[in-house]
Structure 1
Amino acid sequence: MTERFQGGKFYFMEHVLDPSISLLKITQVILGSLGIWSLLLDGCRLDKDIRKALEQGGFAHVDVKNFRLNLDGGVPLAYAILYLVKPHIYGTATTALKVKAKTNSFGL
């Protein structure tokens, strides 16, 4: 159990499922459903909708900004792996009232 207090902030930065309908998103969903990525990378999920989980997590306010990794140059294998986590979000989630909640109450 953790306690969240009024005005408490949760800072986050996560790679996310590509928001557009794209080959990248299809690849993320396939690798996610097969469990390959998660198996190789200690439970990491390519297909989790982190933004939605945060917005449904009981926070009073969630401020989310999008960005994509800059992958100019580099080693081809590293590029291929990093391409799968190119879309990211970062921001803060602010609590409203004093709440007792499970550590993973927002689905992460």
Structure 2
Amino acid sequence: MSCLLYFCRILCLVIALPFQIMDIVGLYAFYKRLFPLFAYNITFSYNDKMHETKRDLFRNLYKFTGPDGTLRLLEIGCGSGANFKFYPDGCTVICTDPNPHFERYLQMSMDASKHLTYERFLVMSGEDMKEVRDESVDVVVCTLVLCSVSNVKRVLEEARRILKTGGAFYFMEHVVSEPSSWTYFFQHVLQPLWYYLGDGCTITRTTWKDLEGARFSELHLRHFEAPGVTITIKPHITGYAIK
């Protein structure tokens, strides 16, 4: 299987070569402008398939409401606002994303989610959230984002920094499969092409290990197979960690 994997990966690298050239000469930036449109449309299908899982994940958000009766939530890589409908009434949301071209689609989701209060949209990466004060939010949410950041450990450090003591970090991510599976095979074969089509998405990460080493006081994590999605992103993890 290793020889077949090597051969197929080389083939995929060749197919991905035009994207690599576009990236080198600066033309890939045009795709970054289009990517929010693709992501926005994919969101509807993904949310339909993951509705029950997301509902269960965010069911206990209210437990982290601050002593003043408000729940301040910051979402890393909010994209087009796919999680908004799962947040409790009255929640104050701070949105962040490194791609400013998501704002148009984000506003559409805001307009459709009148039960929330939106504080601001910050264009910044999860690795560097210096505009957000230490221990200033009750909850940090990060779904389908840690696959595309450049430094997972740094993002988790930043999440811990801005969380109040006793606050929670909620996550849902696709991860690498078991090495003996066909899913693992296709993940490693398609990774070079997937990276460009997914705007930096990596499908071979062991993100649960980063969470286990992130120095949260509690970690509630489970592995599951996402229903109805492409084989390359079927293995998922979900849960929350408490500072």
Shift of residue 3, structure 1, vs aligned partner: 2.1
TM-score by length of 1: 0.67
Runs (4 or more) in structure 1 with deviation over 3 Å come to none
Instruction: Return the match for 1:51 from 208, 213, 218.
Output: 208
TM-score by length of 2: 0.32
* Stretches of structure 1 lacking an aligned partner (at least 5 in a row): 72-78, 96-108
User: Which deviations, in whole Å up to 9, do the C-alpha atoms of 1:7-40 show, x marking residues without a partner?
Assistant: 11011111111135212112213333xx221111
By percentage of residues, which structure has more helix? 2
Q: Which residue of 1 aligns with 2:236?
A: 88
User: Which deviations, in whole Å up to 9, do the C-alpha atoms of 1:14-67 show, x marking residues without a partner?
Assistant: 1111135212112213333xx221111011110111101111122112111122
CA RMSD, aligned part only? 1.8
Secondary structure of the equivalent of 2:166? coil
User: More deviation in 58-67 or 7-16?
Assistant: 58-67
Larger Rg: 2
1:11 and 2:170 matched: yes
Q: Which residue of 2 aligns with 1:106?
A: none
Q: Which residue of 1 aligns with 2:217?
A: 60
Q: Which residue of 2 aligns with 1:39?
A: 196
Q: Which residue of 1 aligns with 2:81?
A: none
Kindly, what percent of the aligned residue pairs are identical? Answer: 33
Distance 1:20 1:6 in 2: 37
Distance 1:57 1:70 in 2: 28
* Stretches of structure 2 lacking an aligned partner (at least 5 in a row): 1-129, 131-160
Tell me how many residue pairs correspond in the alignment.
84
Distance 2:189 2:211 in 1: 23
